[in-house]
A and B are shown apart, each in its own frame.
Chain A
Amino acid sequence: MAHIKINEELPGIRSLMDFRPETAAPLNALAEVLLRNNEGLTMGERELIATYVSSLNDCTFCQNIHGAVAAYYLGNETVVKVKEKFEHSTISNKMKALLQIATNVQLGGKYVTENDITNAKNEGASDIEIHDTVLISAAFCMFNRYVDGLGTHAPDDPEMYRFRAKKIVEETGYTHSSPK
């Protein structure tokens, strides 16, 4: 049961966006610039970082919805493999180096080492890509806590997440997605 009175027919963050539209607007705008941008990292890579950090934070709703969006771009197998053990997946060495940075950001900002950064740069990551990786990872340490800290509901049905993911990608983005 949720910790506050929200419409529990709405899943995850959507119930909170319905509860508090004033904060929903900047949160959606933030998700849009973090994830719906192809400068440097592709949209698929951005969603993959979001999914991976959400799985480290054990946030069921976020890892399923962003996992479904990432799967839209990159295929489900890639998403499953990355969540299992990204080092053994078929993603590029640059993405592996960036996911190592994401792993450490999830632990805490000071866990990111000079060595992590050098590895990423050696694999061809630009400053903007490193910046965006840290930003996306850090932001999902917020979204995940917000969703779980208020005890929102995460449905089990993978079809719901796939349906919603397709809608986000093809129609609404995050800015125009309605909680309902």
Chain B
Amino acid sequence: MAHINVDTNIPGMRSLLAYRPIIAPPLLALMKVVMRSNEGLSLGERELIATYVSFLNDCTSCHIIHGEVAQCFYKDAPELVSQIKENEISNQLPPRLHALLSIAESVQKGGKHVSQAQINIAKANNITDLEIHDSVLIASMFCFFNRYIDGLGLTSNDTLETYKERAKNIAENGY
């Protein structure tokens, strides 16, 4: 049960935005700017970082929904998303993705866990400063959203079907 009186018929973070409308504009603007830009990181890579960090934070609803959104961008590689959703990142991943997710993993532990060695590996894989910036910001954002949702005790009425439906809509139309 949610810790405060929110409308539980509205799925995910939307119920909190409906409860506290003044925060909706900046939060949605942040989501749009950071998650829906194709400059540098692809939309799929952004969603994979969100999925992995939500998994590390044990936020079930975020990790399912963003995993499904990511899946929409990786239709040819269904095993890629499940690999990231269910396991720790492995060296089987493409090096670029491995470098990005390894930075995200350190951010999840705390900002100071990001090491110069991780940054060097990213740069050796031609990952730009902007892409490093966006990876750190996305990982940080999901440390925020995951805590916001779980800290208020939100539960989800979603089924795998409704998650997939919402994910398709997000992938196509944005946040």
Interface, chain A (partner B; CB < 8 A): 3-5, 16, 19-20, 22-23, 25-27, 29-30, 32-34, 37, 57-59, 101, 104-106, 108-110, 112, 114, 117, 127-128, 130-132, 134-135, 137-139, 141-151
Contact = CB atoms under 8 A, between A and B. Distances in A.
A29 B146 contact: no
A110 B111 contact: no
Contacts of A132: 20
A27 B32 CA distance: 12
B93 interface: no
A137 B136 contact: no
B136 A23 contact: no
B151 interface: yes
B57 A57 contact: no
B94 interface: no
Contacts of B139: 145, 149
B153 interface: yes
B111 A147 contact: yes
Contact of A3 (B114, B148, B150, B152): B114
Contact of A29 (B29, B149, B150): B29
Contact of A5 (B26, B103, B129): B129
B30 A30 contact: yes
